[in-house]
Amino acid sequence: MISHRLGTVVVVGVAIILPILGSGPAALAGVGGPIFVAAKPGAAAVRAVPARDGRCLPGARTLSRFGSHLYPDTGNGGYTSLHTDVHLVYDATADRFLPGNHVDLTEHAAECLTSFSLDFERKSLANSAAGPDMRVNSVTVNGHPARFGFVQPTYPGDPRGQNDPNPMAHEASQLNPVGGPGHNPLPPACSPELPSTDPALQNSQNGQQCPANKLVITPVSPITAGSMFTVDVDYTGRPGVHTDGDGTTEGWFRSSKPAGDGGFVTTEPVGTEDWMPLNDFPSAKPTYDFYDTVNAGKTVLANGTLASVRHNPPDARFPAGSVTWHWHSPAPVASYLVEDSVGSYDLTMRTADRGVRYYEALAGALSPAQKRQDLVIMNQQEDISDFQSLFNGTFPFTSDGVVVGIPSASFDEELQTMIMFSGGQINLDVLYHENMHQWWGDNVSESSYNLTFFKEGLATFGEYLFAARTAEAAAGGPHSMAGQRAFDRSLIKQFNSSYASKGSFWTAAPSNPTPFGLFAGDPTYTRPGVAYIALRQILGQANFVRALRQLQRDHRGASVTEPQLEAAFHRWLPVRSAACGARLDQFFSQWFDTAFPAGGLAHRPQVTGPGLAGPGFYGQGGCARLR
Ligand SMILES: [Zn+2]
């Protein structure tokens, strides 16, 4: 029930239906940036020469490592992101952020900073039609006006510093080194914005100059190491979508059904910076409050739980009145999982076991028949969460939700506690996938883009568990021996069918994708997905579940590296001898890190063969606990 009292909607825990109710100064900031020493690929950039005053330096303008070719322009160092207050003032009819639109970021300085940066694609050169066209009007740091400007990214670890005058230090590429028409031998500074998804064009933009999307902010005086500071960025204009390294778009999709409906947000991997300045890297995870003011009658959807809805009288910006929605996420949210959509939605909420709130939002313009069809699937989210909890442990957030919007965005996405389905339709298998992400990707995030396979593999494993659950139900249910055998048989069948794959199935290492291949099927989804089936077989169901739950406990609200991921499975290996540990290392190296020649058969992981059901699984040494 919702009661409208004093202009505020008070949300109570039963089923409810809500009525549908630029760029700044051109001067570059931070000239005289820090000096980096280039290390071998994969090693972290090392700061070598201190600034003249010996203490205070500009913050690093990337969180990527030297040699990275996956969105190396994103992320910002020298501070950690603690909390963000989003204050959108959005006219849905005009698709514009109006005066008063701003974000307040609370950061913790890890070092003394003369300047620091954020990521913000305020204007897209690659996509003038649907890309953003915004302007930063002012920036304050701790309440004091600060200088700001936009600069190009520089490849991580450039020994000539972040303001390297060499144009080759600021070029885009799928690859390291850049190559391209100029045969650039340096690593890329950003990922290219591809004009299409045609594989033949994937290297067509290598060597292009990177856009100046680094917002460098110089406070009046340096920020002391160890201090908390606040950054207020005031900006207006039209949000939009980012054209990324595989030719798809993500960010703020215009929703035009009905005309002037609003904006629909799906953002992986980097599109959040197309509607809001932020530290745009998956391991940067501030908590959030959203206080969004939109046209009267519009609904705002964001992460976490709905705290209040306040109706405002008409003013110069909203002559027909406006409404301010406050959503609160006490859990940290990774850069690509920030939800903040606006439109005409039927929004419902109900409180389930353990107080978890389930939100359902359906685009108001969908036909009644389509809504009924979508709701049949949406209503299964709590049951799906309960089932997935058997593996992952307790649901990690205070709320969960599903949104079905109309724009045909490039994909459906696991935005934290608010799973986004585009095109007006929802699919049950995809809901299992996206809901699995609430644990994997959302609560425990990847520490960098090349670990996307870690969470996509677990989400794909979530689909395999759904197929196994279906087989189990048909064979007598989870409490029957026949049902349990059918569950195992389904997983083994899935493994064996994928393991038999030939062609190019094994030719890309999951942990070393290009931007073009990051979301392109087998190496990111199927191969790691069936690797988790193998891990379940190796560890046994009980130990496998213990490993998953330990990862959830140890890295909750944060992110995980590949060694940390693998260490959790090592810990729960039934036989913890040195030989068995070495064999598990070999398993990870073959399944996650190796690019095999085409064709399959001998050119695929051998440590697992001849198949999960076979007696030779995982070798003859007895490391596995066969069931
Ligand atoms: Zn996924």
Average pLDDT score over residue span 332-342? 98
Which carries the bigger pLDDT value, residue 98 or residue 354? 98
Q: For residue 350, give every residue at least 6 positions away whose Cβ sits within 8 Å of its Cβ, in sequence order, or none.
A: 13, 14, 15, 16, 357, 358
* Cα 535 to averaged position of ligand 1 atoms, centre (Å): 20
For residue range 433-467, list pLDDT tens digits in order.
999 999 999 999 999 999 999 999 999 999 999 99
Q: How confident is the model at residue 520 (pLDDT cuts 50, 70, 90)?
A: confident
Q: How confident is the model at residue 620 (pLDDT cuts 50, 70, 90)?
A: low
Average pLDDT score over residue span 93-110? 98
Which of 20-24, 344-348, 457-461 has the weakest average pLDDT?
20-24
* Cα 103 to averaged position of ligand 1 atoms, centre (Å): 28
* Cα 107 to averaged position of ligand 1 atoms, centre (Å): 29
Average pLDDT score over residue span 31-51? 34
**Predicted local confidence at residue 570, as pLDDT:** 96
Average pLDDT score over residue span 97-119? 98
* Cα 431 to averaged position of ligand 1 atoms, centre (Å): 10
Q: How confident is the model at residue 41 (pLDDT cuts 50, 70, 90)?
A: very low
* Cα 179 to averaged position of ligand 1 atoms, centre (Å): 31
Cis upstream peptide for 99 (omega within 30°): no
Average pLDDT score over residue span 299-314? 98
**Percent of residues in the chain assigned helix, strand, coil, to nearest 5:** 25, 25, 50
* Cα 434 to averaged position of ligand 1 atoms, centre (Å): 6
Which of 12-16, 123-127, 233-237 has the weakest average pLDDT?
12-16
* Cα 459 to averaged position of ligand 1 atoms, centre (Å): 6
**Predicted local confidence at residue 44, as pLDDT:** 37
* Cα 513 to averaged position of ligand 1 atoms, centre (Å): 15
* Cα 414 to averaged position of ligand 1 atoms, centre (Å): 7
H or E element at residue 454: helix 452-474
Average pLDDT score over residue span 71-82? 98
**Of 447, 432, 408, nearest to 419 (Cα)?**
432
* Cα 137 to averaged position of ligand 1 atoms, centre (Å): 36
* Cα 436 to averaged position of ligand 1 atoms, centre (Å): 9
Tokens of 386: 């309960």
Q: How confident is the model at residue 54 (pLDDT cuts 50, 70, 90)?
A: low
* Cα 262 to averaged position of ligand 1 atoms, centre (Å): 25
Instruction: Flag whether pLDDT at 38 surpasses 60.
Output: no
* Cα 381 to averaged position of ligand 1 atoms, centre (Å): 16
**Predicted local confidence at residue 195, as pLDDT:** 92
Instruction: Flag whether pLDDT at 15 surpasses 80.
Output: no
E strands, 159-239, where?
A: 214-218, 228-238
How does DSSP assign 371-426, residue by residue?
Answer: HHHHHHHHTTHHHHHHHHHHHH-S-SSSEEEEEE-SS--S--B--TTSEEE-TT--
**Predicted local confidence at residue 606, as pLDDT:** 86
Torsion region of 260: left, alpha or beta (phi above 0 gives left; psi -120 to 50 gives alpha): left
Instruction: Flag whether pLDDT at 610 surpasses 90.
Output: no
**Predicted local confidence at residue 78, as pLDDT:** 97
* Cα 411 to averaged position of ligand 1 atoms, centre (Å): 10
Partners of 446 in the beta sheet?
560
Tokens of 446: 């990847």
Which of 200-204, 341-345, 486-490, 621-625 has the weakest average pLDDT?
621-625
Q: How confident is the model at residue 32 (pLDDT cuts 50, 70, 90)?
A: very low
* Cα 437 to averaged position of ligand 1 atoms, centre (Å): 7
Q: pLDDT > 90: what percent of the chain? A: 84
* Cα 79 to averaged position of ligand 1 atoms, centre (Å): 29
Find out whether 123 and 133 touch, Cβ atoms under 8 Å: yes
**Predicted local confidence at residue 576, as pLDDT:** 85
Q: How confident is the model at residue 621 (pLDDT cuts 50, 70, 90)?
A: low
* Cα 240 to averaged position of ligand 1 atoms, centre (Å): 22
CA distances, 183 to each of 69, 154, 171, 208 (Å): 16, 17, 11, 12
Mean pLDDT of the chain: 90
Q: How confident is the model at residue 5 (pLDDT cuts 50, 70, 90)?
A: very low
For residue range 354-389, list pLDDT tens digits in order.
899 999 999 999 999 999 999 999 999 999 999 999
Which of 32-36, 76-80, 580-584, 616-620 has the weakest average pLDDT?
32-36
For residue range 231-256, list pLDDT tens digits in order.
999 999 999 999 999 999 999 999 99
User: What CA–CA distance (Å, rounded) separates 462 from 457?
Assistant: 9
* Cα 524 to averaged position of ligand 1 atoms, centre (Å): 9
Neighbours of ion ligand 1 (CB under 5 A): 456, 459
* Cα 413 to averaged position of ligand 1 atoms, centre (Å): 7
* Phi, psi dihedral angles at 236 (to 5 degrees): -140, 170
* Cα 458 to averaged position of ligand 1 atoms, centre (Å): 8
Which of 8-17, 147-156, 515-524 has the weakest average pLDDT?
8-17
* Cα 325 to averaged position of ligand 1 atoms, centre (Å): 28
